[in-house]
Amino acid sequence: MVVAAPAGWAAEPVVVFAAASMTDAVSALTHQYNESHDAVVVASYAASSTLARQIEAGAPAQIYISANARWVDYLGGRGVIERRCDLVGNRLMLIAPAGRPLDLDIAVGFDLAAALGDRRLAMGDPNHVPVGLYARQALKTLDVWPSVRDRLVHSADVRATLALVARGEVAAGIVYATDARLSDQVRVVGVFPAASHDAIVYPAARIIGPGNAAADHFFAYLVSNQGRAVFAAFGFDTDITAPCSP
C-alpha cells in the first residue's frame, strides 16, 4: 500500500530515533521515502535506552522505534507517547568470529563457558540495552548464566557487539538475527530458543509534540505494507501477533 502524501509540508523535517539494530532497514526506508516524497526525514541510531533518555530530556524526535517494549513503556509513563504499535520482530543468535567458529548446540545446560576458553562473551549491557536483556533472560532460562556472567564484555548496543566479534576481540557474542547477517567476518553458532526469552518485538511510537503532518504521514508509511516490505527485506519478522496498522 502506498500512502498518498499531502501537499504543503515538504520542508518540514521529521526526526526518527531508532534502535541500533534498525540502522540499515530504517536508513533504506527513509531514503526511499525521501526520494519518492521530496521530504526531509532524518534518523539517529543508538541503544533504545539511550534514545529513550534523550527523548525524556527533550530531544526533538517525533518517531521512536525501540527494540523492546520496556523503553516505550518508560516514555509512556512520562506522558510523551501519542500513539504506539508493534512494528516487527527478531530472533536472538550466538555468533563467533568466522576464523574461530564454535561448535555448540544451544539447549539447557550447554557448555558455553568451556567453549569460550580463556576468552570472553560480548553482549549488550543487560542492565539497560534490550539485546542484553534478552540475552540474559535466555542464558538464565538455559541455566548457563552463572557460568558466564563474570566472562562478559558489555557493549553499548548490538552493533558494538557485532564489531567486537567480527574483529576477533571476543570468543563469541549475542546479537539479533538481522545483525548476524551483516558481516562475513562472523558465523552463526546457533539460534536461542524463542521460549528462552521474551518475544523480541519492536514497538514504534509517535512522540507527543507540536503538530507535524509530515511526521504523521511518515509514521503511516513506516507501518504500511510498503514499509513492512523494507523491514522484511532486511530480515525482520513481519509476521507478528498484532502488527501496526496505518
Reply yes or no on whether the pLDDT at 240 is more than 90: no
Res. 158: pLDDT tops 70: yes
Are 238 and 232 spatial neighbours (Cβ–Cβ below 8 Å)?
yes
* C-alpha 50 chain-centroid distance: 13
Q: Is pLDDT above 90 for 243?
A: no
pLDDT band at 10 (very low <50, low <70, confident <90, very high): low
pLDDT above 60 (res 8): no
CB distance 76 to 192 below 8 Å? no
Which grid cell sits at 8? 504543503
**Which pLDDT belongs to residue 2?**
41
Closest CA to 204 of 181, 226, 227: 227
Whole-number Å distance between alpha carbons of 149 and 244: 36
Candidates 104, 89, 90; CA nearest to 172 is 104
C-alpha cell at 22: 534498525
Q: Are 133 and 73 contacting, i.e. CB atoms less than 8 angstroms apart?
A: no
pLDDT at 233 over 60: yes
Choice between 145 and 37, residue whose per-residue pLDDT is larger: 145
Query: What mean pLDDT comes out for the span 223-231?
Result: 91
pLDDT interval class at 1 (50, 70, 90): very low
> Which residues make beta-bridge pairs with 147?
none
Which percentage of the chain shows pLDDT scores above 90? 82
Name residues whose C-beta falls within 8 Å of residue 26's C-beta, 6 or more positions apart in sequence: 16, 18, 43, 45, 65
Report the percent of the chain where pLDDT is more than 70. 92
Alpha-carbon gap, residue 237 to 223, rounded angstroms: 13
- How far lies 237's CA from each of 60, 128, 163, 198, in Å? 29, 23, 23, 15
In terms of pTM, does the model score above 0.75? Answer: yes
Position 189 pLDDT exceeds 90 = yes
Measured distance between the N- and C-terminal CA atoms of the chain, rounded to whole angstroms: 10
More confident residue, 35 or 93: 93
CB distance 104 to 188 below 8 Å: no
Q: Identify the pLDDT of residue 212.
A: 81
Q: Over 80: is that where the pLDDT of 4 sits?
A: no
| pLDDT, mean over the chain | 91
CA-wise closest residue to 181 among 93, 65, 89, 68: 93
What confidence score (pLDDT) does residue 53 get? 95
pLDDT at 242: 67
Q: In what order do the strands lie in the sheet with 172-176?
A: 152-155, 121-124, 172-176, 92-97, 186-191
Per mean pLDDT, which range of 125-129, 196-200, 208-212 is the poorest? Answer: 208-212
Give yes or no for a contact between 171 and 116, defined as CB atoms under 8 angstroms apart.
Answer: yes
Is residue 133 scored above 70 in pLDDT?
yes
